[in-house]
Amino acid sequence: MSQLSKINRRKFLNRSVLFVLTPPLLSQYSGFTKKQEKVRHVCVGVGGMGWHDLNRFKAHPNVDIVAICDVDENHLNKAADAIPNAKKYTDWRELLEKEAENFDAINVSVPDHNHFSIAMQSIQMGKHVYCQKPMCHDVAEIRKLTQAAQKAGIVSQLGTQHASGKGDRTAVQWIKEGHIGKIKEVYLCSNRPGATEAYRFEGPRPEGGENPPMHLHWDLFIGTAPMRPYAPTIYHPSKWRAWQDFGTGWSGDIGCHILDAVWKGLDLKAPKSVVAKVQDSWENSPARRADTWPQSNHITWVFPGNKLTAANEFKVHWYDGEFYPPEEVRALFSVEDYPAESAMLVGTEGALLIPHTKMPVLLPAEKFKQISPPNLEERDHYHHFVDACLGKTNTESHFGISGPMSETVILGTVAIRQPNEVLEWDTSNLKILNHDAANQYLSREYRNGWELKV
């Protein structure tokens, strides 16, 4: 394998070539590719969401899954039973080296901290990339991956699978058609029952550790992150999301899903500022603030207005955990039955509720009873990516649009780490203008031996 060279944070930021994606570029970037009969595909990460992803790609009649990879051999062997002819790997670097000439596309379905390295090296090889949300762990990674995909002309897709569903696509159309007038404010939320207990480990981490089980390649799991001792139940397979070294917290995990239709419908660009509130128990614990993500967040982005908004700037809010949208906002639908995961757009002529995974609702219902949903075809997000690789269509969530959106979501996690501070964002220079300490969270140093030449 080629020698990987070290790049520090300053070089990582300074070496970024900044660009603006104009509409013609976006159309090209979402990209058609040369027509072919089959897509030779590899799956990196085949447990959890990766298992779901593998099965969706497997279901496409024009996909051959030629290789699979996972750091957990239990996951790997289960996937091998489903795809017996696929070659097995535990190290994605070995897969990319040995299978370089044997595949066309890859899905990256591993913990957030390793998204960038796998996706970037694949793009550098000219491979099409399906990457699970939130695209990358850090803002600077997202910017570089977005730029690399545009330069390479590959087909890309963010794993916001419901963006291809009729619900989100209907919402985008209704927003653009202006049924609820000019948009005044937007309220996003993810208050999923049981999520705090299942995914948001409070910490602290154990003082010591133990040997990992034989089936888990712990060094490969750690990847680009700082090494730490293995401990059962709190990292692998699902609670890695709770730790700053590996995941991006609840807003990073789910934010791209809930924001997607709003972002596309309102033609949003980068925000002007962002501020976050968190629960007191996390804010007042230095140990937790240094290591885990909070269990509750209220993030507010201020965006520049446009022809679809009521003012020259407007707010988009995010709520999770113990923070909920205001009661008067929920009452526009129903305080008691308000969808736990949803977006509410409040306009000058009404409101639009977008329940996650379901059809949107125009409010008040009596006013909009004559408006019917558009007649949209069924679409599978994974298969749409494959069809784009085959040269038949464009992808719904290509990096040209999902990259800037992911930057915005992950910028919210920077604000979480500096709670109550309004951070002024300079997207052109990838810099927070008024808070030097917050800039350190835009990127990170990779563990020795895991640096990637970019």
Residue range 395-420, pLDDT digits in tens: 999 999 999 999 999 999 999 999 99
Per-position DSSP letters for 105-117, written without gaps between them: EEEE-S-GGGHHH
Average pLDDT, the chain: 92
Band the pLDDT of 219: cuts 50, 70, 90: very high
Q: Which of 127, 170, 190 is nearest to 265 (CA)?
A: 170
Q: How confident is the model at residue 200, as a pLDDT?
A: 77
pLDDT exceeds cutoff 50 at 74 = yes
Q: Which of 167, 175, 204, 190 is nearest to 262 (CA)?
A: 175
User: Coil, helix or strand for 307?
Assistant: coil
CATH topology classification for 166-218+239-363:
Dihydrodipicolinate Reductase; domain 2 (3.30.360)
- Highest mean pLDDT among 17-31, 199-213, 242-256 belongs to 242-256
Q: Which of 112, 172, 144, 145 is nearest to 354 (CA)?
A: 172
Token pair recorded at residue 242: 């709770």
Section 163-190 average pLDDT: 98
- Which amino acid type is present at position 377? E
The span from the CA of 287 to the CA of 266, in Å, is 39
The span from the CA of 316 to the CA of 339, in Å, is 18
pLDDT exceeds cutoff 90 at 32 = no
Section 11-35 average pLDDT: 37
User: How many other β-carbons are positioned within 10 Å of the β-carbon of residue 130?
Assistant: 28
Section 294-298 average pLDDT: 96
Spatial contact of 325 and 277, defined as CB atoms under 8 Å apart: no
- Which amino acid type is present at position 281? S
Q: Which residue has the higher pLDDT, 5 or 384?
A: 384
Section 356-368 average pLDDT: 97
Q: Is the dihedral of CA 37, 40, 46, 48 positive or negative?
A: negative
Q: How confident is the model at residue 37, as a pLDDT?
A: 87
Beta bridge partners of 297: 278, 320
User: How many other β-carbons are positioned within 10 Å of the β-carbon of residue 267?
Assistant: 14
Give the Cα-Cα-Cα angle 243, 318, 253 (nearest 5 degrees): 35
Q: For the whole model, what pTM was predicted?
A: 0.92
Q: Which residue has the higher pLDDT, 360 or 199?
A: 360
pLDDT exceeds cutoff 80 at 22 = no
pLDDT exceeds cutoff 90 at 67 = yes
Q: Pairing between strand 297-304 and 128-131? A: unpaired
Q: Where are the alpha helices (DSSP H) in 200-319?
A: 218-222, 249-265, 280-283, 286-289
Strand stretches in 305-451, DSSP E: 313-320, 341-347, 351-355, 361-363, 423-426, 431-432
DSSP annotation of 72: B
Q: How confident is the model at residue 453, as a pLDDT?
A: 72
Section 343-366 average pLDDT: 98
Beta bridge partners of 352: 345, 362
Q: How confident is the model at residue 9, as a pLDDT?
A: 42
Share of the chain above pLDDT 70, in %: 92
Q: 9-163+380-403+435-442 and 166-218+239-363: same fold? A: no
pLDDT exceeds cutoff 50 at 443 = yes
Q: Read off φ and ψ for residue 113, nearest 5 degrees.
A: -65, -15
pLDDT tens for each residue of 136-161: 999 999 999 999 999 999 999 999 99
Spatial contact of 386 and 60, defined as CB atoms under 8 Å apart: yes
- Which amino acid type is present at position 425? W
Section 419-447 average pLDDT: 97
The span from the CA of 59 to the CA of 382, in Å, is 9
The span from the CA of 15 to the CA of 453, in Å, is 11
Section 28-46 average pLDDT: 72
Whole-angstrom CA distances from 449 to 278, 291, 306 are 35, 23, 46
Whole-angstrom CA distances from 18 to 345, 367, 445 are 31, 45, 21
Break the chain into its structural domains and give their ranges: 9-163+380-403+435-442, 166-218+239-363
CATH of domain 9-163+380-403+435-442: 3.40.50.720
pLDDT tens for each residue of 89-135: 999 999 999 999 999 999 999 999 999 999 999 999 999 999 999 99
The span from the CA of 454 to the CA of 85, in Å, is 33
Q: Which of 236, 228, 222, 237 is nearest to 210 (CA)?
A: 228
The span from the CA of 308 to the CA of 226, in Å, is 44
- Which amino acid type is present at position 357? T
Share of the chain above pLDDT 90, in %: 86
The span from the CA of 141 to the CA of 342, in Å, is 27
pLDDT tens for each residue of 248-275: 999 999 999 999 999 999 999 999 999 9
